[in-house]
Chains A and B, each alone.
Chain A
Amino acid sequence: MRGKSKLTIFMALALVMSLFLSACSGGGNTEGGTTGGSSNGDSNEGTTEGDSSSGAKMAEEQVLNINIKTEPPSLNPGTATDTTSAVVIKSIFEGLTRITPDGVKPAMAKEIKTSDDGLKYTITLRDDIKWSNGDPVTAGDFEYAWKWVLNPKHEATYAYQLYPIKNAEKAKAGEVPLDKVGIKVVNDKKLIVTLGRKAPYFEKLLAFTTFMPVNEEVAKANPKWYTDAGPNFVTNGPYTLEKWEHKDEIVLKKNPKYWDKENVHLNKIQMVMVEDEQTELNMYNNGELDWAGMPTGQLPLAAIPTLKQKGTLNIKPIAGVYYYAFNVEKEPFNNLKIRKAFSYAINRKGIVEQITKAGQIPAMALVPPSMFPENKKGYFQDNNVEKAKELLKQGMKELGYDSVADFPEITLSYNTNEAHAKIAQAIQEMWKDTLGVDVKLYNAEWKVYLKKLEEGNYQVGRMGWLGDFNDAINFLEIFKEKGGNNYTNWHSEKYASLLEKSYGQADNPEQRMATMKQAEKVFMEDMPIAPIYFYTVAYVKKPYVKGVFINGLGKSDYKWAYIAAH
């Protein structure tokens, strides 16, 4: 009897927790409305699951069962903006390049030539590429897809991904006609793209979902070709869309017309949409899923310690940072020493070991260690209590306060979520213990919270950032200007000019890296944010699932996946 009631209580707790955790899954973010994260994937740092040597023995039945949690909002490469859609789109469509375990490789393109000034890209397509209906993939299909996105009349939020292309931004704003955009079709197999500004990451960008082609003929004949599986849903990727039961499941089949079909082993990928994390894990334990957890799903927080103990949990660091933003226009955080004191007083190691528990790395820097390896150590010492106390005293003097009791009331804000709440409570206590400051907690639903931050109506607020592309500039640029994703109101001329300088150093990666590190140093000296930890992805998978590629940004690609004999 006692055992039974204990079980009930445990189940209840686990449930309540998983409910809260998943309560805020709007926007297709992978971690409860956590961060900025598009699906732009690329990395040389990625890892391929298991043995990818071609000698491995394959199972008879090549079927992979995974959970993608929610209905993908759009399977049209032009309108998709979220990670769930991107996972499916990357499997069924293919751009000019593809991010592979060995870096960026030509995919639909055979050859990409760059002019000396780095502004003109001459792209030749492969000869043997076909759409799933048998039509050849032409340069015109790319032009059509990109110009569709840039058409001011069309709804395409991610049009700005195409902005490096000459006149793209102006065309989207309706200032110049679409044929002024730097996209030129020479013939069916040749495309010339002219950029408006240097973009050293352009080849990586070509692999991004927004840059994928659309079959012009089919799309023109059926403007709603992308809403359901069927003869109109024509694709050019490793898999085809066999079935799309909205909000229920998606089934992909191997594409027999794909140019690289020798390297595609799965015959079928079944993607179910189950939102509840505990249910996902239950289905995995019951053999209905081959994979549970990130990148496409999520493990319940409560189950992580047990899975870790069993030794089945896989953890991979990814490019993402969880941080507390200080509003540098609100007292007392207008004072640098106070900001530092609050940041130093956080025990990050305690947080990742006691609360988040999925192997996160304490962050004492902005750029994740996958990009700047020395950032494992960071710019300051974690949990530096003595220094924090000293800085607090000095800061109070500068602001003219006699004691912490004179501080204006300090509120720590976060969006409603169990994990965020736990971290906020822990930090509240750390600040109380170390600095003697009483901090109030405030939480709001995701969109309300964002609005509050946008309006500058906060003092300390939780935020996060998941990389869009695997380059430090993606993290540094957040704080280049006020507004946008920089909610801190912090601005530094020196910082901005260093970033400008790095743009000109595209040809010299080492110099560019040094300039960016210099910029990060300026940023950390001013401490407009208190970094907390660098993200990881945590998952469990059946031992026979091999070849799933998870890139450095934590996005998965199933092109090379296979089921080993078992």
Chain B
Amino acid sequence: MGRYLTKRVLFILVSLFFIVTLTFFLMKAAPGGPFTTEKGIPPEIKQGLREFYGLDNPWYQQYFDYLVSVAQWDFGPSFKYKGQSVNDIISRSFPVSLILGLEAVFIALGFGVLFGCIAALRHNRLADYAAMVIAVFGISVPNFILASLLQYIFALKLNWLPVARFEGWEYTILPAVALSAMPLAFVARLMRSSMLEELGSDYVKTAKAKGIKQSVVTYRHAIRNAIMPVVSYLGPLLAAILTGSFVVEKIFGIPGLGNEFVTSITNRDYTTIMGVTVFYSVLLLFSILIVDIIYGLIDPRIKLSGGKGK
């Protein structure tokens, strides 16, 4: 286990290095810079700005300086927000995105697994069809349309929930539901098909033949095995929810990181682009690692130490 972890962490560091390098050069290659505005800035002021932010140094020096500061987890000052560092921006925006993201993941997982199981157990009956109609709806309706619909119905017409912003728990409900619709549908479909497969497998038949109660068969055996594909989907799911929350955050006026991620690119806010990218990468690489570990815990057949164990 220890060797496995060291190896994985090493891989993560190598991936991070490539991500930083690639982002750095792609960003520099994008036309326009942080000081490109339609209003001409006098040359001496532009020069002063470039010196202030170290953009005057040769590219390799900028690159190595950047690598060093990333290694120290210091992302530098934001170009756009004066006096604020990228670390500040991340530490104030990420908790918001995280709360929203986790809520969405719980909704997606909870209801997705539930719907999938019901659909499989009531195969080809009304409940199955109903669950799958919901799933198709969830996959095909983009989250920003769903977000607006929810806002229209629950905030404007029914007045049950606030229209927008992020001032308390009741504010998170609509955006979390909007964010979770797609993964929920996906999880439900995934769960249904793998559950159907497990329910038809030999060990379930054996268990039933031995007279074990249906509920025990379902809960103790079938679900535990059927949930595997869902678990491996968790990593990409978290990634999709965290980085894809931009539109939902915008519609609900939520000060999250997804928004920062996208606007920093339009602003050519170099340090913010890099900082947020690196931050997301670290987060996602580690979440994949954690998913792999969970995987091993659920299914003893998968050995983390792997290799040709004696």
Q: Chain A residues in contact with chain B, CB under 8 A?
A: 8, 11-12, 14-15, 19, 22, 24-27, 35-36, 38, 71, 73-74, 76, 79-80, 152-157, 159-160, 163, 169, 172-174, 224, 226-227, 245-249, 272-276, 278-279, 282-283, 285-286, 288, 445-448, 450-452, 463, 483-485
At the interface with chain A, which of B110-118, B150-158, B282-290? B150-158
* With contact pairs A172-B48, A447-B32, A450-B32 given, residues A74 and B83 touching in the complex (Cβ less than 8 Å): yes
The reply to whether B32 and A286 form a contact with Cβ atoms under 8 Å apart is no
* With contact pairs A27-B37, A276-B250, A447-B266 given, residues A73 and B82 touching in the complex (Cβ less than 8 Å): yes
The reply to whether B149 and A172 form a contact with Cβ atoms under 8 Å apart is no
Q: Chain B residues in contact with chain A, CB under 8 A?
A: 30-33, 35-42, 44-45, 48-49, 52-53, 80-84, 89, 92-93, 144-145, 148-149, 151-152, 155-156, 159, 162-166, 247, 250-253, 255, 259-260, 263, 266-268
The reply to whether A246 and B84 form a contact with Cβ atoms under 8 Å apart is yes
The reply to whether A485 and B32 form a contact with Cβ atoms under 8 Å apart is no
The reply to whether B255 and A484 form a contact with Cβ atoms under 8 Å apart is no
Q: List 8 A-B contacts (CB under 8 A).
A: A154-B48, A173-B44, A246-B255, A275-B259, A279-B164, A282-B163, A447-B36, A450-B37
The reply to whether B83 and A485 form a contact with Cβ atoms under 8 Å apart is no
The reply to whether B82 and A26 form a contact with Cβ atoms under 8 Å apart is no
Kindly state the separation between the CA atoms of A272 and B165 in the bound complex, as whole angstroms.
9
Best-surrounded residue of A76, A157, A169, A445 (most CB of chain B within 10 A): A157
Choose among B45, B163, B266 the residue that contacts A283 (Cβ–Cβ < 8 A): B163
The reply to whether B36 and A450 form a contact with Cβ atoms under 8 Å apart is yes
Best-surrounded residue of B38, B251, B255 (most CB of chain A within 10 A): B38
The reply to whether B255 and A273 form a contact with Cβ atoms under 8 Å apart is yes
Kindly state the separation between the CA atoms of A273 and B49 in the bound complex, as whole angstroms.
28
The reply to whether B148 and A15 form a contact with Cβ atoms under 8 Å apart is yes
Choose among B49, B93, B162, B255 the residue that contacts A155 (Cβ–Cβ < 8 A): B49
The reply to whether A71 and B81 form a contact with Cβ atoms under 8 Å apart is yes
Shortest Cβ-Cβ A-B pairs, 10 listed: A447-B32, A274-B253, A247-B255, A74-B82, A484-B40, A173-B44, A227-B83, A26-B266, A451-B31, A36-B39
The reply to whether B144 and A160 form a contact with Cβ atoms under 8 Å apart is no
The reply to whether B266 and A445 form a contact with Cβ atoms under 8 Å apart is yes
The reply to whether B253 and A282 form a contact with Cβ atoms under 8 Å apart is no
Choose among A79, A445, A485 the residue that contacts B39 (Cβ–Cβ < 8 A): A485
Choose among A160, A248, A282, A285 the residue that contacts B41 (Cβ–Cβ < 8 A): A160
The reply to whether A451 and B32 form a contact with Cβ atoms under 8 Å apart is yes
Q: How far is the CB of A282 from chain B (nearest CB, A)?
A: 5
The reply to whether B48 and A15 form a contact with Cβ atoms under 8 Å apart is no
Kindly state the separation between the CA atoms of A227 and B81 in the bound complex, as whole angstroms.
9
Q: How far is the CB of A128 from chain B (nearest CB, A)?
A: 31
Choose among A27, A153, A159 the residue that contacts B45 (Cβ–Cβ < 8 A): A159
Q: How far is the CB of A435 from chain B (nearest CB, A)?
A: 29
The reply to whether B81 and A248 form a contact with Cβ atoms under 8 Å apart is no
The reply to whether A152 and B40 form a contact with Cβ atoms under 8 Å apart is no
The reply to whether B82 and A274 form a contact with Cβ atoms under 8 Å apart is no
Choose among B39, B93, B149, B263 the residue that contacts A8 (Cβ–Cβ < 8 A): B149
The reply to whether A73 and B32 form a contact with Cβ atoms under 8 Å apart is no
* With contact pairs A282-B156, A283-B163, A447-B268 given, residues A155 and B39 touching in the complex (Cβ less than 8 Å): no
The reply to whether B32 and A15 form a contact with Cβ atoms under 8 Å apart is no
* With contact pairs A73-B81, A285-B156, A447-B268 given, residues A276 and B251 touching in the complex (Cβ less than 8 Å): yes
